[in-house]
């Protein structure tokens, strides 16, 4: 099963909007005779590829899968039928498919045909791997991760005017260097690689002029979609995001001045107008933004905004999980920029509550990962 999960991870950035799936086939004697993993472009599912590699050696053998095989017609036929036709005697599955069209039906069909089915092996690892798919397939909304890098006292940048390039992970320049370590920043690139989209507010573009790209160098099926909240279309035409746009930048605004809209669209940028949110902060409705991204088959979104965007996302209740990187530094002072700004929550009972916390070390830094909303809550 660990090998099946390892194979599934090979589909990172290649399988979305489908889940990451790996398969291992053992013959009757217990030797590995076939492996496969799913990529969207490859169409065929992991178990089909593994069974094709095994051929006749799969008969009376064992199939290991990190996700229940499908039983419905989609881009391919039902994989559970292929498993039965291959003569598999035993199927070991880490977890059921969160897709309501499948969820347990394939396992029931296998058992009904006399296949010995074992469930739940390394289930937590399997659930973590496909948490974005689980959220998306049941809600048609992306899994939203709020990511930020900060000092121990929760500051993401020195006071405005005293830094060269403020950013969600701190920045280099005259202010004295990055907040977080090289190791933490490398992990952020891995996080970007595993996501479909990244979101910032236009203030971050104006202040930092970031590229917002996946710099791992690893293969992707789709470019990382760069999403910008810009209620009044202030996005500078000379910004690096605009200059490097190749149908991979989308701007959500609430007031679209036709000339500026046309200039952006001429440069390959999609401009989508959505109503203002109910918070009264003059920002586009984040719920509508997520609905639009879901319709584009975006299954996972990282928010790397500044303080105001971070605060707005938390108050709007759209954040599923947080990944907060802490460096062993203290900025102090009232002028330094906090992790989350805006009106915030008025009562402690209303505060966003982070559950299922895990800690990670990156050099001298550490990160807190946790969930505000369980992507499997209705599973």
Mean pLDDT throughout 248-255? 96
What angle is formed at CA 42 by the lines to CA 38 and CA 44, rounded to 5 degrees?
65
Q: What is the pTM for the complete model shown?
A: 0.92
Give the CATH number of the domain where residue 121 resides.
Answer: 3.40.140.10
The CA distance from 358 to 347, in Å, is 26
Same domain? For 196 and 120 the reply is: no
Is the residue at 241 inside a domain? yes
Which of 129, 154, 181 is the C-terminal boundary of a domain?
129
| 110-120: pLDDT as tens digits | 999 999 999 99
Q: What pLDDT is attached to residue 167?
A: 44
Mean pLDDT throughout 54-70? 96
Is the residue at 299 inside a domain? yes
| 87-134: pLDDT as tens digits | 999 999 999 999 999 999 999 999 999 999 999 999 999 999 999 999
Is the residue at 166 inside a domain? yes
Q: Is 68 a catalytic residue?
A: no
Catalytic-labelled residue, pool 35, 47, 68, 304: 47
Same domain? For 180 and 52 the reply is: no
Which of 79, 104, 129 is the C-terminal boundary of a domain?
129
Contact 364, 327 (CB under 8 A): yes
Residue 22's domain comprises 2-129
Same domain? For 153 and 295 the reply is: yes
Same domain? For 27 and 162 the reply is: no
Average model confidence (pLDDT) across the chain: 93
Same domain? For 331 and 366 the reply is: yes
The CA distance from 30 to 352, in Å, is 49
Length, in residues, of the chain:
379
Count of the separate structural domains present in the chain:
2
Is the residue at 188 inside a domain? yes
Same domain? For 163 and 306 the reply is: yes
């Amino acid at each position: 099963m660990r090998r099946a999960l390892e194979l599934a991870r090979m589909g990172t950035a290649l399988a979305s909007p489908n889940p990451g799936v790996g398969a291992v086939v053992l013959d009757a004697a217990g030797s590995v005779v076939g492996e496969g993993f799913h990529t969207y472009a490859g169409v065929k599912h992991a178990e089909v590829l593994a069974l094709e590699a095994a051929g006749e050696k799969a008969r009376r053998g064992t199939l290991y899968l990190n996700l229940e095989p499908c039983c419905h017609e989609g881009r391919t036929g039902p994989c559970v039928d292929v498993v039965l036709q291959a003569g598999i005697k035993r199927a070991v599955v880490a977890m059921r498919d969160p897709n309501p069209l499948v969820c347990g039906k394939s396992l029931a069909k296998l058992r009904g045909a006399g296949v010995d089915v074992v469930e739940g092996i390394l289930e937590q690892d399997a659930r973590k791997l496909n948490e974005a798919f689980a959220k998306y397939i049941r809600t048609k909304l992306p899994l939203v991760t709020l990511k930020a890098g900060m000092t121990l006292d929760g500051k993401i940048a020195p006071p405005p005017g005293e830094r060269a390039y403020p950013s969600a992970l701190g920045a280099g320049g005259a202010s004295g260097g990055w907040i977080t370590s090289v190791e933490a920043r490398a992990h952020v690139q891995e996080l970007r690689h595993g996501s479909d989209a990244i979101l910032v507010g236009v203030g971050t573009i104006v202040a930092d002029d970031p590229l917002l790209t996946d710099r791992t160098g690893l293969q992707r099926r789709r470019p990382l979609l760069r999403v910008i909240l810009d209620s009044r279309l202030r996005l500078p035409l000379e910004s690096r995001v605009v200059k490097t746009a190749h149908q991979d930048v989308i701007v959500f605004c609430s007031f679209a001045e036709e000339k500026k809209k046309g200039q952006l669209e001429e440069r390959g940028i999609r401009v989508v107008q959505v109503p203002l949110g109910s918070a009264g902060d003059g920002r586009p409705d984040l719920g509508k933004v997520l609905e639009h991204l879901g319709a584009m088959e975006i299954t996972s979104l990282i928010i790397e905004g500044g303080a105001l965007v971070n605060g707005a996302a938390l108050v709007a209740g759209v954040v599923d999980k947080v990944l907060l990187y802490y460096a062993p530094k203290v900025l102090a002072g009232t002028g330094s920029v906090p992790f989350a700004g805006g009106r915030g929550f008025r009562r402690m009972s209303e505060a966003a509550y982070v559950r299922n916390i895990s800690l990670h070390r990156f050099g001298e830094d550490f990160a807190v990962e946790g969930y505000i909303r369980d992507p499997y809550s209705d599973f």
